[in-house]
Amino acid sequence: MPRASMKKRAMTALVVVPAVAAGTLAVGLSVAASQGELGGEPVTGQPLVEPPVLKSRGGRLAVTFDARTSVVSIGGRKVGTWAYNSMAPGPTLEVFRGDYLQITNRNNLPEQPSNLHTHGLHVSPEKQGDNVFVNTPSGAAFTNKYNIPDDHIPGEYWYHPHRHMFTNQQVGAGMAGMIYVRANTPEERELDRYRTRLMVFQQFQVDNGKVVAAGQKSTAPTYTYVNGQLKPVASLRPGEIQRWRLANLQAGSFIRIPVPEGMKAWLISTDGNPTSRPIPLSSMLIPPAGRRTILVRAQSAGELTVQNIPWGSGFQAIPQQDLFTARVAGTPVVGAKLPALPAVMPDLRGEPVHNSRTVQFSVGTPAPGSTAPNFVINGMNYDQWGKKNLALMKLNTVEEWTLTNTTDEYHPFHIHVQPFQVVSVNGQPVKGVEYRDTVPIPPMVNGVPGKVVIRQRYTDFTGRFVFHCHILFHEDNGMMAPVRVVR
Ligand SMILES: [Cu+2]
């Protein structure tokens, strides 16, 4: 692929999102009561509401994020937490490929450093790009500048803090939001004809009007919210095909969604990467950070419950919960058709492999004198890498990585800057061309490590970045490693 042109356009659309009562929030939660009672019982059954969308104009979008202790709406009541611009999820950013995106990230969190990562975006990891080595102390600001390549894959991406050792708490508090990359192509215009809905899943434990911070203990119930709502209602007409963008922005929990009876669903993209055809779907396992875009249709009027069903064991076990209701009502739609999707993702399985590596995810013994768990990759805690890198990858060459897992839980592997093709899982070859930016490595069973084989080819950008487990508690405790792409 050619190096993307870096267009600089004269037009500037500066969008500053107003923080709700920003002045009063500056001194933190203690004054929140002046805005009305915090907490109360969550409200359910409201129509699904989506975060506000900030769109680029004239090839440019510039936004300012204010990260601070805020009062946000969670489950229809006022709740104190850390958030971007007093919203959980934060605003959705919408750009076209070829656009320039600028995010000024003001860290007004109390006494905690932060930074920003654009998860899944194919942009430079260097300097003021998607550089997660940036440290923005409390009280400081940093401006990230992203040139979205002209040939970027249109799809669903997201943003969240990525400051090592603080990521779990900040994402878990609700600091995350969506990024859409759009394209002016016939297939994108065809998809845009479907009524489209966003469902961002975030998990919160709300106790006494506040989100319980990661690591704190509480007996209050934990729910998975949809766009900050508890069990909202998404309506569709009988026979209508809708496009649903499902995004698991939880800090560390999987989501297992069966397609409810009475509904048909087709997968059209994984982590923003289009499938080569609408693939009929009966259920989805969405790892933390994963996105699935599906087309859905229900023929008969009625109410269908979309559920998160029990999955996993130990720390990873998820309980059953109703996520939202699909209300099928109104005038039936006749003749809705599925789209024709051309294959756009390259199949790397037939390409020569320049380099093969094995990357092992495991748990080491805690460091002397430490009680913190020691999650390691190839035996190394992230803190041990210093300026070294686990891999030097040559630009425009194919790398085959065998990801192994010798622990008894899943680790969702995520690498920055470019998605990868999944070749096999536990020895089972993947049918078709399937790209992800986050893939769960299965646990070890009966002494046999879990194994996922991927192929990846870095294009356009050189520089240093990271890969890691997207259970952010694991990442914060060392399950991350640096790599570098060189010419
Ligand atoms: Cu992990």
pLDDT digits (tens, 9 = 90+) for 207-223: 999 999 998 999 999 99
184 CA distance to ligand 1 middle (Å): 37
370 CA distance to ligand 1 middle (Å): 19
Provide CB contacts within 8 A for 348, sequence distance 6+.
398, 421, 455, 456, 457
Which residues, listed in sequence order, are joined to residue 54 by a DSSP beta bridge? 93
Asked if residue 56 has pLDDT above 50, the reply is yes
Asked if residue 371 has pLDDT above 90, the reply is no
Nearest partner of 148 among 129, 126, 176, judged by Cα = 129
Structural contact between residues 310 and 317, judged by C-beta atoms closer than 8 angstroms: yes
Phi, psi of 189 (to 5 degrees): -65, -35
The answer to whether the peptide bond before residue 89 is cis (omega within 30 degrees of 0) is: yes
Whether 192-328 and 348-486 share one fold: the answer is yes
354 CA distance to ligand 1 middle (Å): 28
Asked if residue 32 has pLDDT above 90, the reply is no
Asked if residue 33 has pLDDT above 70, the reply is no
pTM of the model: 0.92
233 CA distance to ligand 1 middle (Å): 33
Question: What CATH code is assigned to 192-328?
Answer: 2.60.40.420
| Rounded CA separation 243/232 (Å) | 17
| Rounded CA separation 402/356 (Å) | 8
Query: Which pLDDT band holds residue 27 (cuts at 50, 70, 90)?
Result: very low
Asked if residue 22 has pLDDT above 60, the reply is no
Query: Which pLDDT band holds residue 440 (cuts at 50, 70, 90)?
Result: very high
426 CA distance to ligand 1 middle (Å): 17
412 CA distance to ligand 1 middle (Å): 6
430 CA distance to ligand 1 middle (Å): 22
| Rounded CA separation 298/265 (Å) | 9
Domain 348-486: give its CATH architecture: Sandwich (2.60)
Q: Where are the domains of the chain?
A: 14-185, 192-328, 348-486
259 CA distance to ligand 1 middle (Å): 27
469 CA distance to ligand 1 middle (Å): 4
438 CA distance to ligand 1 middle (Å): 12
Structural contact between residues 443 and 405, judged by C-beta atoms closer than 8 angstroms: yes
Give the DSSP letter of residue 189.
H
314 CA distance to ligand 1 middle (Å): 13
Burial class (CB in 10 A: 0-12, 13-18, 19+), 432: exposed
428 CA distance to ligand 1 middle (Å): 22
Burial class (CB in 10 A: 0-12, 13-18, 19+), 466: buried
Expressed in angstroms, the distance from the first to the final Cα of the chain is 14
160 CA distance to ligand 1 middle (Å): 18
Q: Token pair for residue 215? A: 């690591």
Q: Token pair for residue 364? A: 């080491």
* pLDDT more than 90, % of the chain: 89
pLDDT tens-digit readout, 264-281: 999 999 999 999 899 999
411 CA distance to ligand 1 middle (Å): 4
Residue for token digits 């622990």? 407
Query: Which pLDDT band holds residue 3 (cuts at 50, 70, 90)?
Result: very low
> In 3-state terms, what secondary structure has residue 481?
strand
375 CA distance to ligand 1 middle (Å): 8
377 CA distance to ligand 1 middle (Å): 10
- For strand 291-298 and strand 241-248, is the pairing parallel, antiparallel, or unpaired? antiparallel
Provide mean pLDDT across the span 24-33: 37
Provide CB contacts within 8 A for 240, sequence distance 6+.
195, 297, 333, 336
pLDDT of residue 25: 33
Asked if residue 260 has pLDDT above 80, the reply is yes
Nearest partner of 414 among 351, 461, 469, 465, judged by Cα = 469
Structural contact between residues 232 and 47, judged by C-beta atoms closer than 8 angstroms: yes
468 CA distance to ligand 1 middle (Å): 8
Structural contact between residues 137 and 113, judged by C-beta atoms closer than 8 angstroms: yes
139 CA distance to ligand 1 middle (Å): 31
| Rounded CA separation 345/266 (Å) | 18
pLDDT of residue 37: 78
pLDDT tens-digit readout, 91-114: 999 999 999 999 999 999 998 999
Asked if residue 89 has pLDDT above 80, the reply is yes
| Rounded CA separation 248/322 (Å) | 15
410 CA distance to ligand 1 middle (Å): 6
146 CA distance to ligand 1 middle (Å): 28
82 CA distance to ligand 1 middle (Å): 24
92 CA distance to ligand 1 middle (Å): 27
Domain 14-185: give its CATH architecture: Sandwich (2.60)
Structural contact between residues 278 and 295, judged by C-beta atoms closer than 8 angstroms: yes
164 CA distance to ligand 1 middle (Å): 14
Residue for token digits 């839980």? 409
| Rounded CA separation 374/366 (Å) | 5
379 CA distance to ligand 1 middle (Å): 14
453 CA distance to ligand 1 middle (Å): 17
93 CA distance to ligand 1 middle (Å): 28
> In 3-state terms, what secondary structure has residue 24?
helix
Angle at 301 (CA atoms; ends 295, 303), nearest 5 degrees? 80
pLDDT of residue 36: 61
Residue for token digits 């419950």? 305
11 CA distance to ligand 1 middle (Å): 43
Structural contact between residues 398 and 385, judged by C-beta atoms closer than 8 angstroms: no
367 CA distance to ligand 1 middle (Å): 18
241 CA distance to ligand 1 middle (Å): 36
475 CA distance to ligand 1 middle (Å): 7
Q: In what order do the strands lie in the sheet with 411-415?
A: 391-394, 480-486, 463-469, 411-415, 438-441
